[in-house]
Amino acid sequence: MYLHAHRGGDRIEALARELNAVRECAQLLRFDVTHAASVQSVLDQVLEGGPIQVLVNNAGIHDDAVFPGMSARQWHRVIDVTLNGFYNVTHPLLMPMIRTRWGRIVNISSVAALTGNRGQVNYAAAKGALNSATRALAIELASRGVTVNAVAPGIIRSEMSEGHFDTATIQRLVPMQRAGEADEVASLVDFLCSDSAAYITGQVVSINGGMI
């Protein structure tokens, strides 16, 4: 198992230690997903040990502003991490995965791609494009034993969501009247990566407590 970090390396290192305390299985990779050459260099070394057959693309950032006040840097930065990062990481891993005739790719999207959100035109655009890429790539790989799906979380309790959604807002927006938990999203991703999900591909699966 490979864990990736660019920022927040201390948390990823702690997770790797926790996993390795149970069974030595986790290695930490460090690179910026927006730097294609760096990504290629690291992944080339990883692939020397064999193909990666399960890939979860989870890189993404917010840089919010209403669109008239959004700078070009804010626009390109969010698109670069989410969309170009998807390409930079997925592309080098695909052919080795295809040759095994088995693979799972799960892209982490967002409810913002499905419903929109004020101040997040860049984020919604990036995640919406990721959804479209998911569907198209799923068609290309369906006959090769490789599934490609996206998971679109709603309001999930995390550092990224803290300060954006108070209790009253969550109760107003979410029919279940609570934020989701990271473990609930992880369980969905785990299922989509399993043999039980072999006939599920090209889907954007929402996990949002009933938000429409």
Q: Catalytic residues, which ones? A: 123
Give counts: helices (H), strands (E), the chain.
8, 6
Determine the residue type at 68. Answer: P
Cα separations (Å) of 82 from 114, 123, 167? 16, 8, 28
Query: Are 119 and 66 spatial neighbours (Cβ–Cβ below 8 Å)?
Result: yes
Provide the residue type at 4 as one letter: H
Residue reference for tokens 């290192």 = 13
